[in-house]
Structure 1
Amino acid sequence: MSTEQTPTAADNGFSYTLTRTLDAPASRVWQAWTTPDQYTRWAYAVPGTVEMDARPGGTWKATVRTPEGAEFPLTGSYLEVAEPHHLAIGMDVPGRPAPATMTVDLTEQGPRTTVITVHQTCDTAEERDGAEQGSGMLLDGLEGFLGSGAEV
């Protein structure tokens, strides 16, 4: 498994791109990212708080618990859904008039290898740094879940 981080400053904000190579087919990665019970098992979500309607216009919510024990309720909607290769996810950010958008792209590189690319543009360097750290934690959890042989 490999990780590549490419922070960039865009004209409209601060963005980051994280890329990992996962030892799993895209369909398995997709299910892990879009199925509430699977998402709960790897995404630091509090059991019973995850709801996902993975279709354009569908909503999602989860309460995430940090390793330190702090809990953060998250909400948003699915902007684009092209199973099993692309998600554009709107994330509600307190104090921000429009949702932040995160894209998740899955590219198969063989029957059991998928490259996942997560990209987000933020309004400030501080927001970007926090979002990038959170996305890195998500990818760590996903990688561990997929590597554990957990049932799909």
Structure 2
Amino acid sequence: MSTEQTTTADGHSYTLTRTLDAPAAKVWQAWTTPDQYAQWAYAAPGSVEMDVRPGGTWKATVVTPDGGEYPLTGSYLEVAENRLLVIGMDAPGKPAPQTMTVELDKQDDRHTQIVLRQTCDTAEERDMAEQGSTMLLDGLSGFLTGAAGA
């Protein structure tokens, strides 16, 4: 697995790129199936709901290592199965959702490159979002490695 992180010149955007040891369809399923997503995305059991289609909504309650719970909501802005998710994330006090783009690129029958991109309003928000996205990719990588033998 390879990992690459990039922060853009404006200081408010980031891109995370990883090559995962799983086919694109398996990565897609892990990202778009509530019970699978909950297993790797630090979500409280039973809190994940997904209507994966343009305009469909999602919600999850993230549980932090210290036991804090944070409900998250949003919608799917673009969906191209096994290739692209553009996810709107509702942010308290913001008039428009924050947008995260998840791109999947099949490398071969066993490997998929995943690229996460997000632009934030401030460097502080970017740092927090990038840290959270890195944790997501770590969880996803671990889940896919463990699921490979299942």
Using structure 2 for the length normalisation, give the TM-score: 0.96
**Off by >6 Å, runs of 4+ in structure 1:** none
Instruction: Give 1:149 deviation, angstroms.
Output: 2.2
1:46 aligns with 2:16: no
1:5 aligns with 2:5: yes
Measure, in 2, the Cα distance between the counterparts of 1:55 and 1:144: 26
Instruction: Give 1:9 deviation, angstroms.
Output: 3.6
Measure, in 1, the Cα distance between the counterparts of 2:144 and 2:66: 24
Measure, in 1, the Cα distance between the counterparts of 2:66 and 2:137: 18
Aligned ranges for residues 64-75 of structure 1 at < 5 Å? 64-75=62-73
Aligned ranges for residues 72-151 of structure 1 at < 5 Å? 72-149=70-147
Q: Which runs of 5+ in 2 are unaligned?
A: none
Instruction: Give 1:151 deviation, angstroms.
Output: 7.9
For these two proteins, the number of residue pairs brought into alignment is 150
Instruction: Give 1:71 deviation, angstroms.
Output: 1.0
> Secondary structure in 1 aligned to 2:28?
helix
> Secondary structure in 1 aligned to 2:147?
coil
Measure, in 2, the Cα distance between the counterparts of 1:151 and 1:53: 28
What do residues 7-58 of structure 1 show as CA deviations (whole Å, max 9, x unaligned)? 1144xx7100001100000000000000000000000000010000000000
Change (3 A) 1:150 1:44: farther
> Secondary structure in 1 aligned to 2:12?
strand
Matching residue of 2:12: 14
What letter corresponds to residue 77 of structure 2 in structure 1?
Answer: L
> Secondary structure in 1 aligned to 2:104?
strand
Measure, in 2, the Cα distance between the counterparts of 1:149 and 1:75: 27
Instruction: Give 1:135 deviation, angstroms.
Output: 0.3
Considering only aligned residues, what root-mean-square deviation do their CA atoms show, in Å? 1.3
What letter corresponds to residue 41 of structure 1 in structure 2?
Answer: Q
The answer as to whether partners of 2:22 and 2:148 remain within 8 angstroms in 1 is no
